[in-house]
């Protein structure tokens, strides 16, 4: 049974990725020892090097895949681990619709292997990276944690199934402490400009898409649908600065010291911005126009989605601090310093 003194060594799955890398920075700054396992399918080694440069601290890196039981078992044999923050997973809604088997194989089977290895090693503290997609088409906004859950695509369904798996594990063994964090839309980058979002191919997410148009890598932004029942017809989302999000994981990890069982929190700002509002905020940062085209809606997209995060504020003492301007400024700094992402 881990008590407060004993959570020091944290395994971060997918720690080289966008949210993982920013969380590693916050963990190291907070004095934790960090081990990362990553298969680099959607991330680069450079991010690990830069996390160490930003913090002046070392990370133990294991190149491995959660789908391979030996890879994950050997991490627990090799390192002392007190808790796990689990990011590793495919994360594109559109891609999940076209390759559902790959999503279930990677996200669900990989998580099962991780949980089995944790159980065998008697490591029973986990913070899980879930998503607001588990709310499906929420009937009202803002979204609270006790809303009914459903999924409109395989990506969301994989997150929902993992949430249910975690609940089942706790029912069978109350020694587990499980924090489920449902993210809204992470954007921005570290203020140093050294780590940020570096998607493979054409970005699925709005901010990197806009910034690649701004830097001249892409010709124009596709805006998927302008006939939603929103203020300007474009989809409304809750955008949260990735550093705020990363800090939410540190707060959740600290909460596990109190042996809370299963806890579930939304991490968002509580404000919804439309696609066109984001475009105009970015134009303000740039001082120039962004080319965009209105195209067909995407399958599985919903009109409006923003968080009620009061539970996280009350129970974790966490609150998003950064505003939309800061999100745009930090995204743009990262893009300018890394025109081709980490391969620049």
- Catalytic annotation, residues: 155
CA atoms within 13 A on the CB side of 315: 19
Asked if 26 and 246 count as a contact pair (C-beta separation under 8 A), the reply is: yes
- The counts of H helices and E strands in the chain are 12, 14
Rounded distance between C-alpha atoms, residue 177 and residue 184, angstroms = 23
Q: Is 130 helix (H, G, I), strand (E, B) or coil?
A: strand
DSSP bridge partners of 63: 38
Q: What single DSSP character describes residue 62?
A: E
- Helix (H) / strand (E) element for 124: namely none
Torsion angle, CA of 138/140/142/143, rounded to 10 degrees?
Answer: -30
Asked if 320 and 240 count as a contact pair (C-beta separation under 8 A), the reply is: yes
Asked if 249 and 240 count as a contact pair (C-beta separation under 8 A), the reply is: no
Rounded distance between C-alpha atoms, residue 146 and residue 264, angstroms = 9
Of 290, 293, 281, nearest in space to 326 by CA: 281
Q: Is 111 helix (H, G, I), strand (E, B) or coil?
A: helix
Q: What single DSSP character describes residue 150?
A: -
Rounded distance between C-alpha atoms, residue 88 and residue 20, angstroms = 8
Asked if 48 and 16 count as a contact pair (C-beta separation under 8 A), the reply is: yes
Phi, psi of 141 (to 5 degrees): -125, 150
Residues 6+ apart with CB under 8 A from 4: 257
């Amino acid at each position: 049974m881990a008590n407060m003194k004993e959570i020091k060594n944290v395994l971060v799955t997918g720690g080289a990725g966008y949210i993982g890398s920013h969380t590693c920075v916050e963990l190291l700054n907070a004095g934790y020892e960090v081990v990362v396992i990553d298969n680099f399918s959607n991330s680069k080694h450079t991010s690990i090097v830069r996390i160490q440069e930003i913090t002046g601290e070392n990370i133990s890196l294991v190149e491995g895949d959660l789908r391979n039981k030996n890879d994950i078992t050997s991490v627990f044999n090799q390192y002392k681990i007190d808790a796990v923050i689990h990011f590793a997973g495919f994360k594109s809604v559109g891609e999940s619709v076209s390759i559902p088997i790959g999503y279930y194989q990677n996200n669900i089977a990989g998580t099962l292997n991780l949980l089995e290895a944790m159980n065998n090693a008697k490591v029973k503290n986990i913070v899980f990276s879930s998503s607001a997609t588990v709310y499906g088409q929420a009937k009202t906004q803002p979204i609270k944690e006790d809303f009914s859950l459903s999924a409109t695509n395989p990506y969301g369904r994989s997150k929902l199934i993992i949430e249910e798996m975690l609940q089942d594990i706790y029912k069978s063994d109350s020694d587990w402490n499980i924090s489920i964090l449902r993210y809204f839309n992470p954007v921005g980058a570290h203020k140093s400009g050294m780590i940020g979002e570096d998607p493979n191919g054409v970005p699925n997410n709005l901010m990197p898409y806009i910034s690649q148009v701004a830097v001249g890598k892409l010709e124009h932004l596709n805006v998927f649908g302008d006939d939603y029942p929103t203020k300007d017809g474009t989809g409304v989302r809750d955008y949260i600065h990735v550093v705020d999000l990363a800090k939410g994981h540190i707060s959740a990890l600290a909460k596990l010291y109190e042996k809370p069982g299963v806890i579930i929190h939304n991490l968002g700002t509580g404000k919804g911005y439309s696609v066109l509002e984001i475009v105009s905020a970015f134009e303000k940062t740039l001082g120039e126009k962004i080319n965009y085209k209105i195209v067909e809606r995407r399958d599985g997209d919903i009109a409006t989605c923003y968080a009620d995060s009061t539970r996280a504020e009350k129970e974790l003492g966490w609150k998003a601090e950064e505003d939309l301007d800061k999100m745009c400024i930090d995204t743009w700094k990262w893009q300018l310093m890394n025109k081709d992402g980490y391969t620049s």
